[in-house]
């Protein structure tokens, strides 16, 4: 496994890159008030991380504002993200090719897209790039709503919100 700077160096020099791996990435951002509860704020974030990780069959990379979960199958990621959307988390989901890297687990455009959507989303919102659903069917009872045009300009790509009505 390589570190991220090695992957960038190989890319810039035109050297052969390692074989890419396709993963689904769920970026989770916690609302600001979670970390503002003094010393209990940080412990509540650690507790949330532990609870989410224990319920996910995915690799996890945590950070002070939330976490990334990496799934092998898009359907697993969609199902897990929809279950989490009943909480006040901001959620971004994407999938695509990337590279396994030390300390970061996996890096690719999908991780950046998911993070960007989670950062701009509102609590209890699950946002995804619109192009993911050209060839992928959503579960029965899940609605797909086109993202607002002004926010699309901020994000830099067309996106949608998924809402679970089941």
- Where b means 16+ CB within 10 Å and e means fewer, 78-107 reads bebbbebbeeebbbbbbbbebbbbeeebbb
- Stretch 14-42: mean pLDDT: 77
By mean pLDDT, which of 21-25, 43-47, 87-91, 109-113 is the weakest? 43-47
Per-residue pLDDT at 18: 78
Percent above pLDDT 70 for the chain:
93
Fold for domain 4-164? Alpha-Beta Plaits (3.30.70)
């Amino acid at each position: 496994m390589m570190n991220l700077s090695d992957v960038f160096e190989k890319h810039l020099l035109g050297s052969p890159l390692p074989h890419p791996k396709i993963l689904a990435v769920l970026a989770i951002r916690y609302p600001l008030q979670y970390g503002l509860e003094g010393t209990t704020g940080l412990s509540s974030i650690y507790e949330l991380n532990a609870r989410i990780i224990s319920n996910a069959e995915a690799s996890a990379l945590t950070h002070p504002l939330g976490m990334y979960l990496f799934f092998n199958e898009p359907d697993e990621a969609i199902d897990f993200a929809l279950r989490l959307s009943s909480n006040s988390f901001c959620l971004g989901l994407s999938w695509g090719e990337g590279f396994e890297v030390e300390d970061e687990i996996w890096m690719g455009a999908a991780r950046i897209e998911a993070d960007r959507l989670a950062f701009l989303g509102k609590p209890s919102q699950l946002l995804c790039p619109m192009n993911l659903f050209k060839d992928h069917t959503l579960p029965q009872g899940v609605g797909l709503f086109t993202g607002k045009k002004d926010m699309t300009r901020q994000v830099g790509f067309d996106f949608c919100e998924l809402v679970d009505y089941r």
